[in-house]
Amino acid sequence: MQDEQQRLRDRVEIEQIRSLLNQSPVAIAAHLGQACGVVVVLWNSAPRLQLVGWLCALILAGAMRALLTYSFRRADPAASQWRRWGGLAFAVLTAYGVIWGAAAILFLDIVDPVSMIIIIPIIVGLFSASAAISAPFPPSFFGFGAAAYLPMLWVLLTSGSWLGVAIGLMACAPLISHPLICLNVHRELERSLRLGFENEALRLEAEQANAAKTRFLAAASHDLRQPIHALGLSFAALAERVRRADTKPQIAQIDEAIAAIDTMLNALLDVSKLDAGVVAPQLQPVSVTALLHRLKTELAAAAQEGQNRLRIRDCNAWVQTDSAMLHRMLANLLGNALRYTSQGRILLAVRRRGDRLRFVVYDTGIGIPEAAFANIFVEFHQIDNAQRDRRQGLGLGLSIVKRLGALLDHPIGLASTPGRGSCFWIEVPLTHEPPPQPAGRQQPQTLLHRLNGCRVLVLDDEPTVLASMQSLLERWGCEVTPAATIAAARTAARQRPLDLLIVDYRLSGPRTGLDAIEDLRRAAGDPVPALVITGDTAPERLREAQRSGYPLLHKPVQPARLRSAIQHLRADRRGDQRLVHPKPNRR
């Protein structure tokens, strides 16, 4: 703890010296200008040799200060070296003070009004300015002040003239006020620097904690997805064998439990995708009527279950947005309202705001305290769910809304009163209805619904997943070649022709499934269609998988989605150009 405090103090001190030296160009110019004025005005009344020598000394001091500033900036010294550089700064500024003190001794004459008028105001002005300029490092102010100001006071108070003594006494006031000003400014600057560094440290700690949380969630998510993925595949294969009237309720319960787990893991995946930046919005004109009708149909059952009255007001307008993302945002807001409202009312209204459309979700639920407004958009934060009831979700819905709003540039806001309800809104830019599209050819109805004879190589280093995948695919009529290593898969690819590769992204060892696909295609001598399956949610892994261009499914994979992906890839293999997937682009 003491070491941390010392490091913080060192950083504050070096930054204050940096601030002092940053004033050097202005200070050098001010001192040189004032000195030239003294020489010009006193040229005919003071010894010229002394004037020239004094001016040369001040120019030398300015050169020393410029060299010190240049050396400091070039060296960019460590914080622990502040004493050395502070000592050099003190010496240079004290030299300035000695030179100005010498001016008072050499040129200040009580009987010469010209010298009185020019020297006293200049030294007092420089002393006053130094209280602010040198405040970052007070020793430099005291060094300059003692060397420059005290000689002037000594000349005035010992002049033997009542005028000189009177002026000297009046000039004593800044000796009290200016040091106090310097110290006050120094304290404020020091406090500001300390707060800045402490905030920076807190921000770094928060970023490190967030990165650690992301890594933990990615690792935990991957490890959880593996057995759940195997469970889902095994259950799908088993359900087809034991589906009878007496087993239907149990199958439905298991299926519901797997779906609930899948929903929670997909919420984590959505956050990881958004953080990884692999989700790109597809902006296009979207019918508000169609969007609202879909939401009403999807959420009607949830509203009835909570004995809530759900109203969605129609609006014949078009907005420029990503249809899926805006739907997700509104569905999350409505789902949140339904979750925290019981026997109440939920309303989704649409209002025009100039060239934008505002979607507003009202509810008569428990409400949100104003102090919690900022936190409700943070991951896993939930109000009134200390028991972490999973039926109330994971606390990711509003976090996803916030991320999607930032991605789409759709402002979001809220207002709420505890005990009376809440209001969330999203603003979306309006657009014009697109022209009608010409009717295209109907999709052929001959897309294979059976996979009989499809030769599939499955590469996965998890034995349970490999066995479950093999069992399910064989139930669908596929000829499956399982492989637990890249080497075994490469051997299999050489021995028999293949129609499809299903490869796990994360394999044991340094190589990924993307590397394995390239190896297997070379071994087969054929660009075999490939499907990548992953349980990894680390942002950097998601970005790499996204860039590959291969079709990607995330564990746990629903059997229906797996089957649909295989059917599309097989149709592509057979030459149906309407279902061609983008070619991989690893670079």
Number of domains in the chain: 3
pLDDT at 63: 94
- As given in the structure block, the two tokens for residue 343 are 């026997």
User: Which has the closest alpha carbon to 341: 228, 419, 398, 289?
Assistant: 419
**Whether residue 247 sits in one domain with residue 114:** no
CA distances from 307 to 259, 286, 302 (A): 23, 31, 9
**Whether residue 274 sits in one domain with residue 333:** no
Q: What averages of pLDDT result for each successive group of 10 residues across the chain (587 residues)?
A: 78 90 90 92 91 94 93 90 92 93 92 89 90 90 92 91 90 90 90 86 74 61 63 68 70 66 57 57 86 85 83 88 85 85 88 90 85 63 47 60 83 86 91 66 43 88 85 87 90 89 86 89 88 75 73 80 85 51 39
Cα maximum dimension of the chain = 121
In a domain, 330, yes or no: yes
CA distances from 413 to 331, 380, 427, 485, 567 (A): 16, 19, 9, 51, 43
pLDDT at 576: 42
**Whether residue 555 sits in one domain with residue 471:** yes
**Whether residue 292 sits in one domain with residue 232:** no
Angle (CA) 200 203 205, round 5° = 110
pLDDT at 441: 42
**Whether residue 234 sits in one domain with residue 117:** no
**Whether residue 307 sits in one domain with residue 211:** no
**Whether residue 416 sits in one domain with residue 456:** no
**Whether residue 369 sits in one domain with residue 423:** yes
pLDDT at 446: 40
Give the CATH number of the domain where residue 350 resides: 3.30.565.10
In a domain, 527, yes or no: yes
**Whether residue 499 sits in one domain with residue 454:** yes
In a domain, 437, yes or no: no
Q: Which of 384, 401, 431 is the last residue of a domain?
A: 431
Decide the pairing of beta strands 421-431 and 309-312: unpaired
pLDDT at 361: 92
Q: What torsion do the CA atoms of 487, 489, 495, 501 make, to the nearest 10 degrees?
A: -150
| Cα R_g (the chain), whole angstroms | 38
Give the CATH number of the domain where residue 480 resides: 3.40.50.2300
In a domain, 542, yes or no: yes
Which contacts qualify for 387-396: CB closer than 8 Å, 24 or more apart? 390/260, 390/264, 392/339, 392/340, 393/264, 393/267, 393/335, 393/339, 394/264, 394/267, 394/268, 396/267, 396/268, 396/270, 396/271
In a domain, 149, yes or no: yes
In a domain, 529, yes or no: yes
Q: How far apart are CA 122 and CA 416, in angstroms?
A: 62
Whether the ω angle into residue 556 lies within 30 degrees of 0, i.e. cis, is: yes
Domain limits for position 294: 284-431
**Whether residue 120 sits in one domain with residue 28:** yes
pTM above 0.85, yes or no: no
Q: What is the DSSP string of 346-387?
A: EEEEEEEETTEEEEEEEE-SS---GGGTTGGGSTT--SS-TT
**Whether residue 26 sits in one domain with residue 44:** yes
User: Which has the closest alpha carbon to 391: 226, 257, 556?
Assistant: 257
Tokens 């010009």 map to which residue? 40
In a domain, 464, yes or no: yes
Q: Which of 400, 431, 462 is the last residue of a domain?
A: 431
Q: Which of 154, 171, 188 is the last residue of a domain?
A: 171
**Whether residue 373 sits in one domain with residue 475:** no
In a domain, 188, yes or no: no
